[in-house]
């Protein structure tokens, strides 16, 4: 392995960016591939699939054997709102492999008693997200119902290219939210990326069930990144 390749790979990993170390096994030469790099043909398809699944794999193209060592950042789930739904979401997100944290400036909600096992920021989203910036390997779920708290975080998530942006509230609530976000400078494409009402439609009623629906939707979106037509479809 080339030392420069290793350093470049580790740099991408430290900066929470996805990268693949592509090694030609016969010669031992390797190179770093970043998401969006243009690689034609069959090899390009294998690279795309590796980025999507996060599974390292060998691939042979035209008689040449390659190994694709894929390093994806661990997905983070940032939840705005220390509410009942979040209490159920926290342990489930952990089991599903997401690093979850909660932001809520309302200190009556954001207490360690209510959330013993999850990083909790009892502050407004603006200062918290300035210190802990969102990125494309983050999901953001805004569940406070309060525009004063949710809106800034939603706009920040859209601007950061978070792979998932969801907002709690009825269609009517969402219509008002869309109006405010457009006024705040969001584009129509960004608005279309918001999942609202939040969660897969599984008929969820209780906060616990809504948490299931949200997590399922996040997994679905994460595992269909870059696959046209799948994101809006039914779960596999």
Partner 1 sequence: MSLNTLDESRDPLAIAEEWMEAGRDVAIATVIETWGSAPRPAGSHLVIDADGNFHGSVSGGCVEGAVVTEAMDVIGDGKARMLEFGVADETAWRVGLSCGGRIKVYVEKLG
- Enumerate binding residues for partner 1 (CB under 8 A): 1-3, 6-7, 9-10, 13-16, 23, 25, 28, 55-58, 67, 69-70, 73-74, 76, 99, 119, 132
Residues with Cβ within 8 Å of 106's Cβ and at least 6 positions away in sequence, in order, are 82, 122, 144, 149
Quick one: which of 111, 117, 123 has its CA closest to 83?
Answer: 111
Q: Starting from the edge strand earliest in sequence, which strands make up the sheet with 99-103, in order? A: 120-121, 99-103, 76-80, 138-142, 164-167, 194-195
Residue 45: both structure tokens together = 């398809």
CB of 46 to partner 1, least distance (A): 13
Q: Which is nearer to partner 1, 4 or 148 (CB)?
A: 4
Could you tell me what percentage of the chain is helix, strand and coil, using 3-state DSSP and rounding each to the nearest 5? 40, 20, 40
DSSP string, 69-118: EEE-PPPEEEEE--SHHHHHHHHHHHHTT-EEEEE-S-TTTS-TTT-TTS
> By C-beta, is 129 or 194 nearer to partner 1?
129
Q: Smallest distance, Å, CB 19 to partner 1? A: 11
Query: Which residue number, 31 or 132, has a Cβ lying nearer to partner 1?
Result: 132
**Considering beta carbons, is residue 51 or 204 the nearer one to partner 1?**
51
Shortest CB 15 distance to partner 1, Å: 7
Which one, 25 or 235, has the nearer CB to partner 1? Answer: 25
Q: How far is the CB of 160 from partner 1 (least distance, A)?
A: 13
Minimum CB–partner distance for residue 10 and partner 1 (Å)? 5
Pairwise CA distance, residues 99 & 12, whole Å = 19
């Amino acid at each position: 392995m080339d030392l420069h390749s290793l350093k470049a790979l580790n740099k991408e990993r430290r900066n929470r960016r996805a990268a693949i170390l592509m090694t030609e096994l016969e010669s031992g030469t390797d190179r770093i591939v970043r998401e969006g790099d243009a690689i034609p043909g069959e090899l390009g398809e294998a690279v795309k699939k590796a980025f999507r699944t996060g599974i390292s794999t060998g691939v042979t193209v035209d008689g040449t054997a390659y190994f694709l060592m894929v390093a994806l950042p661990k997905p983070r789930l940032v939840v705005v709102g220390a509410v009942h739904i979040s209490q159920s979401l926290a342990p489930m997100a952990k089991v599903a492999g997401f690093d979850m944290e909660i932001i809520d400036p309302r200190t009556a909600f954001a207490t360690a008693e209510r959330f013993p096992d999850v990083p909790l920021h009892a502050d407004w989203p603006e200062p918290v997200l300035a210190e802990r910036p969102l990125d494309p390997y983050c999901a953001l779920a805004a569940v406070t119902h309060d525009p004063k708290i949710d809106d800034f975080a939603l706009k920040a998530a859209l601007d950061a290219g978070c792979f998932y942006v969801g907002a709690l509230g009825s269609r009517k609530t969402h219509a008002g939210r869309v109006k405010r976000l457009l006024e705040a400078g969001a584009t129509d494409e960004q608005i279309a990326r918001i999942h609202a009402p939040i969660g897969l439609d599984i008929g969820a009623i209780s906060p616990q069930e809504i948490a299931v629906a949200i997590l399922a939707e996040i997994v679905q979106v994460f595992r269909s990144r870059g696959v046209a037509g799948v994101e809006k479809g039914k779960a596999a």
